Amino acid sequence: MLKPVIAALDVNTEAEALRIADLLGGRIDVYKVGPVLFYKYGRKIIDELNRRGKKVFLDVKLYDIPNTVKIAVETLQEIDIYAVTVHLSGGEEMLKKVTSLKRRPLIWGVSVLTSFDDSALKTLGFSCGAADQVDRLVKIGLKNNVDGIVSSAHELENINKLKKECGKTGVKCIVPGIRLHGGISPAGDDQKRVMTPTRAIKMGADFLVIGRPILESKDPVKTVEEIYEEMEMRGESER
């Protein structure tokens, strides 16, 4: 079973990304590679992480007309990628195109970015809040066989209810916006809907995508170990 923490390599250079991966060693099984590293280094950064025995979650949030996204995912078949994100708001036809591919990475559908709150959605013309919009998109994703849902931990309770209703309990919940020490965003943080690691796992998260708390730590190894220890201690106390 893969460890639940996905370390987000939200850094600017391949050297820094690989330094972090080497430093964390066996404590992390899956690394998130976002657009900055992927656009700079392409498959090279993926291959380097694969050589280290790591799985890669490619977080490029594909969103385009259905056939273009299908071709993009087909192209990614040539690279050893564990999972790739697509926007659920791309709609049913787009999702069907990619989930029906025989050879593909896992498809993880992005609902509402954790940098958005209700007021931000309102400025874009949405009449509903973040929770309702997440529900709408998750239903579309589950109906069209995505392998995972990416959302804030605040929506996990409803998402897990929807998974049960749809008979899709095997769909994974991937949660970004994880913050330590009470889940409060530090100054300058662009995340809005955040939560602590232990609470997110308790609420049903399968994977936690953690970047800044690890990357900005003076001791990233200790930080990761403390996250796991806290989860284990909380789990024991609730048995």
Residues with active-site annotation: 61
Max alpha carbon distance in the chain (Å)? 50
Contacts of 177 (CB under 8 A, 6+ apart): 114, 152, 153, 191, 192, 193, 194, 195
d(CA 15, CA 221): 18
Rounded to 5°, the CA angle 193-113-132 comes to: 75
d(CA 94, CA 84): 14
CB-count burial class (<10 Å; 0-12, 13-18, 19+) for 56: buried
d(CA 100, CA 84): 15
Q: Residue 49 belongs to what H/E stretch?
A: helix 43-51
**What are the structure tokens assigned to 9, written together?**
């390599």
d(CA 144, CA 147): 10
d(CA 39, CA 41): 6
